[in-house]
Amino acid sequence: MVVSCRVLKLARQPYYRWLRQPVPQADVVAAYRANALFDAHRDDPEFGHRLLADEAKDCGQPMADRTAWRICQENQWISVFGKRKARGNGIRPGPAVHDDLVLRDFTAERPNQLWLTDITEHHTAEGKLYLCAVKDVFAGRIVGYSIDSRMTSRLAVNALNNAVALRGNVAGCVVHSDRGSQFRSRKFVRALKRHGLVGSMGRVGAAGDNAAMESFFSLLQNNVLDRKPWATRLDLRVAIVTWIERTYHRRRRQTRLGRLTPVEFETMMNTQVTLAA
């Protein structure tokens, strides 16, 4: 080794230093930070570098916003809202992670056979408020929902977890959504697998593929969201929850349910099943 260093005109001390630590600690830290930022960007491609830095911090990789910006710029991890918009809506939906198992057949013979989910938003004086809801097609009941000021994958995961907590054993239930990044995220896909649920996704640009969920949001918009300007997110949150739990579930009768409310229809069907057993 001494002869090799002399021939190559290399000092021995740096060589032995490199043997003790082939990869500098700074490079290791940078790699972990980049990996955390990449995971956050893949789950929520709408996030800019500041929100990605917050997500990385939650994963144990804190860094300055400027550091996050530099890493994102070097790797071209740019928010989809920051890119130059193309013709049309400017945002290309990502590839589906599930096949379309529904094919616009929004019917179910029993509870927890088919769930639909989607996200809507509305403005307040404080900023936007986002609602992710999960609807059981059998009786049209909203079995789970989540409300937040940020549209992240956690919004969809929380709504799904709330639905599972309410319904109990739901293994085998099909959960149908559009191709939004929240429903394609690894967190949401892992939540589906954890609860034994089966994912399903509609086609690109086909609103009819989730029409039954869109009809619920249309009712919500007419009855709550567009009724008046909302000063705070809290006011709108309370109004949404009140309308879902008091009016939609327990007072709004539906023709397809024999002029019963979703709660009345489920109660009646569950009673018949119990008596038959």
Between CA 149 and CA 156 the distance in angstroms is 13
What does the pLDDT read at residue 207? 60
Residue 229 makes CB contacts below 8 A (sequence gap 6+) with 125
Task: Say if pTM beats, i.e. exceeds, 0.75.
Answer: no
The predicted pLDDT at position 205 comes to 58
C-alpha distances out from residue 68 to 64, 80, 82, 123, Å: 6, 17, 16, 29
Q: How does DSSP classify residue 103?
A: T
Interacting residues of 6 by C-beta distance below 8 A, sequence separation 6+:
none
Spatial CA neighbour of 231 closest among 223, 239, 241, 242? 239
Q: What is the mean pLDDT of residues 14-41?
A: 81
Quick one: which of 177, 13, 17 has its CA closest to 97? 177
Percent of residues in the chain assigned helix, strand, coil, to nearest 5: 50, 15, 35
User: What mean pLDDT do residues 263-272 have?
Assistant: 86
Name all contacts of 272-276 with Cβ < 8 Å and 24+ positions apart: none
In this predicted structure, the answer to whether residue 141 has a pLDDT above a threshold of 90 is yes
The angle at the Cα of 182, spanning 178 to 185, to the nearest 5 degrees, equals 110
pLDDT confidence band for 91 (50 / 70 / 90) = low
**CATH tag for 114-276 (out of 3.90.700.10, 3.30.930.10, 3.30.420.10, 3.30.2320.50):** 3.30.420.10
- Tell me which of 251 and 137 has the higher pLDDT: 137
**Per-domain boundaries in the chain:** 2-75, 114-276
Q: With beta carbons less than 8 A apart as the criterion, state whether 262 and 140 touch.
A: yes
pLDDT per residue as tens digits for the range 155-180: 999 999 999 999 998 999 999 998 88
Q: Is the pLDDT of residue 237 over 80?
A: yes
